Structure 1
């Protein structure tokens, strides 16, 4: 009995380990999905900031282009009238052009990062969709395995268990029917005929006896 008990405890522990392992896999998968969703949110936030930065760069570039046109126009306009002022206008133009050269690579970098975020978001969305599907499928398969394992471990099957209950009930009823005395149903009408027939037989027997015995 002790050996059987030890075997049962060992098997139960192994089954518990399997169940824990299943649960850990599901929990870890859930955490991974949560982290992926958080990364998706951070990527969207970063993309939004890049969009704002791109708009600022483009607005600044338009403004610098207008300033360059203004200083160019001023330099040409006053060249013959005041060369010193014209040279100052050219100096301002060069400063504007220098700013434009600084903005252009930053704008291109921001646009490249924005496009990369767009691709990253598409990849993350695809991974999330696949992860949701895999988690649901594996969870269903896991639950089915745990159910079958539990039924095998406990030797319990609900479908056959119900049949066994009704079978035992039926056998109990049959046994009670066989051991219970059968109640006699009294029929007074039939009893009356039986009584008359019995009396008639007695009279016939009396007449026969009277005929056989001579009178004194």
Structure 2
């Protein structure tokens, strides 16, 4: 456990140093992307407000058009009976038409601003996609460099350190296995059978040796009288 802890501290120290050398561009890029996401959210909020304003302007235009049409009809209706009232109706019709032109101008300006916001939002979305992809690619390349630098750290190479730890572990296990005493069989009943079986095996081997030697002995006995003649 202490060896593994030392290895962790060594590797962490190396990687921390490498990250400092890189000035932690990944974190800085992450902040930039976060700011761009905030900008996108604010743009959407403002765009939603513009959309509501356009709806209000369109409603006002419809109301002013109805109002102008109403005063126009009233002017024609009362002209013969009361020309002054008819002129007042025309005056109010003109006022409604003037207000309608003002609202139409405001609506057009709002629509233009909304269209610009729509374009800005699409551009922000494209930028976010591009930058997020670049961040992932650059982070992968940077991490690879960090890993290679850590692996080329000489005597502090984390791979070599890990291999040494497991080698020492294996040596400790092997040493313990060699020094451990063999278990002693303390079963006399089983030992008696084993002794009898060993004795029987020896007797069978002796019989085999005797059987092989007997024919040779007989041949030697038969050939002796012929040699005497």
TM-score by length of structure 2 reads 0.63
C-alpha distance 84-49 of structure 1, shift in aligned 2 (>3 A): same
User: What corresponds to 1:151 in structure 2?
Assistant: 151
User: The residue matched to 2:100 in structure 1 has which SS?
Assistant: helix
User: The residue matched to 1:81 in structure 2 has which SS?
Assistant: coil
CA distance in 2, matches of 1:164, 1:36: 47
Q: How does 1:116-127 map to 2 (within 5 A)?
A: 116-127=116-127
CA distance in 2, matches of 1:91, 1:164: 99
The root-mean-square deviation of aligned C-alpha atoms, in Å, is 3.2
Partners of 2:76 and 2:86 within 8 A in 1: yes
User: The residue matched to 1:42 in structure 2 has which SS?
Assistant: helix
TM-score by length of structure 1 reads 0.66
Q: How does 1:180-199 map to 2 (within 5 A)?
A: none
Structure 2 residue runs of 5 or longer lacking an equivalent are 1-12, 179-197, 207-229
Aligned pair 1:104/2:109, yes or no?
no
User: What corresponds to 2:91 in structure 1?
Assistant: 91
Structure 1 residue runs of 5 or longer lacking an equivalent are 1-12, 178-186, 194-216
The Cα of 1:121 is off from its aligned counterpart by 1.1
User: What corresponds to 2:31 in structure 1?
Assistant: 31
Structure 1: 4+ residue segments shifted above 3 A = 13-18, 159-167, 187-190
The Cα of 1:79 is off from its aligned counterpart by 1.1
User: What corresponds to 1:204 in structure 2?
Assistant: none
The Cα of 1:158 is off from its aligned counterpart by 2.1
The Cα of 1:24 is off from its aligned counterpart by 2.5
C-alpha distance 95-19 of structure 1, shift in aligned 2 (>3 A): same
User: How many equivalent residue pairs?
Assistant: 166
C-alpha distance 55-134 of structure 1, shift in aligned 2 (>3 A): same
C-alpha distance 74-164 of structure 1, shift in aligned 2 (>3 A): closer
The Cα of 1:73 is off from its aligned counterpart by 0.7
CA distance in 2, matches of 1:74, 1:161: 97
CA distance in 2, matches of 1:65, 1:22: 66
Aligned pair 1:64/2:25, yes or no?
no
